[in-house]
Structure 1
Amino acid sequence: MQFSRHLVISLLLGVSVHTSSAQQPKILVFSKTEGGYRHTSIEAGKIMFINTAKQYGIAADTTEDATWFTPAKLSQYKTLVFLSTRGNVLDSTQQLALMDYIHTGGGFVGIHAATTTEYEWPWYNRLAGAWFDGHPEPQQALYRVTDKNFPATNHLPDTFRHYDEVYNFKSVQDSLHYLITVEENSYSGGKMGSPHPVCWYREFEGGRSFYIGLGHFEKDYEDPFFLSIVWKGIQWAMQLK
């Protein structure tokens, strides 16, 4: 993929990039991180969203500026994508704006480290569905598709192997609909037993929430298999499917 120098510099600086027209539904890709490890794949993910969105009839803006979280600004988006966010990224006013957004029918899509976010805010745990609880070294594992009646997984094989960082989770919400699980006997370091979910969805307080735990590597954001799951999940969260 070829990208303009202006686009790459804007993304690296965390500047919101506006690529939409008035006719297209829009998503906001939010990738702010606070403290600890920051995924190098974030930049690849932002570039992918901006360049790929139009293929789905969608426009994508990106930002790492949490002041974007106001009712007025969020209201222009059909879904918010938390792309490997980390830490306490929203203040109390911004948290209220996110809650209002979901309560008025907005969508939420969490990718990979989105579950390492806002550990001190229980409502976010309910929105995202779980919190991160460590991981072994990246390795190949066997994944099982547990629900093929959902747009993001209805095109997938029953099982597949994938090399990634396999997250363990805690505070897993009871009302999640699991879409993909990982077989812990196919890799080392799993500690959740069976089932061990890695992708799920739920209707939540007036909005929709979708999460996928895969997506650690930059190469994932050029992988048609992974991206098909992400984009179909986004379309569902946007209530386009």
Structure 2
Amino acid sequence: MAANVPRRQFIKGATAAVAATAAAQALPASTANADPGGGQGKGHVEPTVKSPLTTNTGPGIDQYFDPSYNVVRGRVPESYHPWVANREDRILLYTRTAGPRHAHLGPALKAGINPALTPQNVLQNAMIKWMGEVGVQVDWTEDVSRLASISSSYKAVVFASTSRDVMWKHGTAVAPASAVDTTTGAHLDAAKTALRQYVRAGGGFVGIHNAFGTEYNWPWYEGLLGGANYYDHGNHQNGDVVVVNSDSSTDRIPKRWAFRDEWYNLVPFPTRVKFLLTVDESTVATKSRTHPGHGDFHPVSWCQYYDGGRAFLTTLGHDSDAWRDGSGYPSQEFFKQHIVKGVLSAMGTVPFCS
């Protein structure tokens, strides 16, 4: 299914495909989406849908094919595609916004790679410092043309609090005339193709906070996020983060820690992923005006293999002080460790989604 199908038509088609194969063989138990908190219901498994495989998937893993996003995805390391063997210990940080801009991003950046930063660019400065402490170099940009020509030498691409449609060069056609959305007639942006091909070649992807408020109408990107999307949030408020699965990003941090965030509500709810952290909703005072919250199982971090690459995702990180060492923000050191190890895992430097 093409990635540019309108969302309503896309969901209808995906629903029909799943319904037509509901009696098919279930996913193996090792990949069943039965979370430890019971958020999917005990014994929940997802239907298997077989489809002709692309050259990007090896034999014997067709049961992991997801018809909703037309990819192999989930807790399936066999699907990883190590096409590029000589990647550097370097990541690309992308913070472009085409809608609301979080305060922790500071003023919009000038075009090009590694433009000048101000002290108000809190998240960018933090990522450069934090990853530098573990020997990883960071390039940063908000220039979509730089994303469109992304180097395969990066071990991971990080979308941090991006917003809305950040993969278009607005007002110009940067894709060839043949690359046209047959529904809208609009030219597809080269950055979308570049990101997708980067992931398919075994690249790592990290989505942080409002990366979930980005590219709503691109189904492939929604699948990259774990088959999830931002819906709304309640107040910026206290809550307890709970570790629900051990992984590189949760190693050596407490099983429960106090934090403050917006606690994003998600529609769709993530599927086929390895859940890492949740928020205990009994410790959150207000949910939102329109969403009832996720009850006993409200994930805030997870990971998955996706279309040949690796993806680490978290909705955490709203407050600027969460990105400032020594700020006194509750459990800031645990948040920092989770982010750094999560990025390293997507890079493949430490075990990923194991």
Higher helix share: 1
**1:175 partner SS:** coil
| Match of residue 20 from structure 1 | none
Q: How is 1:161-180 mapped onto 2 (pairs within 5 angstroms)?
A: 161-180=258-277
- Could you tell me which residue of structure 1 aligns to residue 213 of structure 2? 116
Q: 1:117-140: CA deviations, max 9, x gaps?
A: 000001100001211110011110
Matched residue type, 1:76: S
Q: Which residue is 2:334 aligned to?
A: 225
What are the equivalent positions in structure 2 for 1:78-117 lying under 5 Å apart?
78-91=155-168, 92=188, 93-117=190-214
Give 1:136's aligned residue: 234
Residue identity matched to 1:134: D
Q: Which runs of 5+ in 2 are unaligned?
A: 1-86, 106-120, 169-187, 325-331
Aligned with residue 31 of structure 1, among 89, 95, 118:
95
Aligned pairs, number: 217
Q: CA deviation at 1:69?
A: 1.9
**Matches of 2:268 and 2:130, distance apart in 1:** 33
SS at match of 1:152: helix
Q: Kindly indicate whether the alpha-carbon contact (under 8 Å) linking 1:68 and 1:74 is maintained by their aligned counterparts in 2.
A: no
Aligned amino acid, residue 197 of structure 1: P
CA drift of 1:172 comes to 2.5
**Structure 2-normalised TM-score?**
0.59
Separation in structure 2 between the aligned mates of residue 185 and residue 51 of structure 1, nearest angstrom:
35
Aligned to 2:180: none
Name the aligned partner's letter for residue 40 of structure 1: A
Q: Is the 8 A contact 1:33 1:87 kept in 2?
A: yes
**Counterpart of 1:240 in 2: which secondary structure?**
coil
2:211 aligned counterpart, secondary structure: helix
Q: Could you tell me whether the CA contact under 8 Å between 1:106 and 1:208 is conserved in 2?
A: yes
| Alpha-carbon contact 1:79-1:237 (below 8 Å) kept | yes
What is the distance in 1 between the residues matched to 2:322 and 2:122? 9
1:141, 1:186 within 8 Å by CA — same for their partners in 2?
A: yes
Gapped regions of structure 1 (runs ≥ 5) = 1-22
Return the offset for 1:33. Answer: 0.5
Q: Which amino acid aligns with 1:108?
A: F
Aligned partner of 2:69 in structure 1 is: none
Q: Deviation at 1:102?
A: 0.3
Shift of 1:24: 5.4
Matched, 1:239 2:341: no
Q: How does 1:12-27 map to 2 (within 5 A)?
A: 25-27=89-91
* 1:41 equivalenced with 2:118 (yes/no): no
Task: Give, in angstroms, the shift of residue 224 of structure 1.
Answer: 2.2
Output the aligned Cα RMSD: 1.6
- Given the alignment of the two structures, is residue 200 of structure 1 paired with residue 302 of structure 2, yes or no? yes
What corresponds to 2:143 in structure 1? 65
Give the aligned residue type for 2:232.
G
The Cα shift of 1:46 comes to 0.3
8 A Cα contact 1:24 1:57, kept in partner: no
Deviation at 1:76? 2.5
Distance in 1 (alpha carbons) for counterparts of 2:211 and 2:223: 13
**2-side partners of 1:159 and 1:48: how far apart?**
24
Aligned with residue 209 of structure 1, among 311, 317, 321: 311
| Partner amino acid, structure 2, of 1:56 | V
- Which SS does the other structure have where 2:317 is aligned? coil
Identity rate of aligned residues, in percent?
34
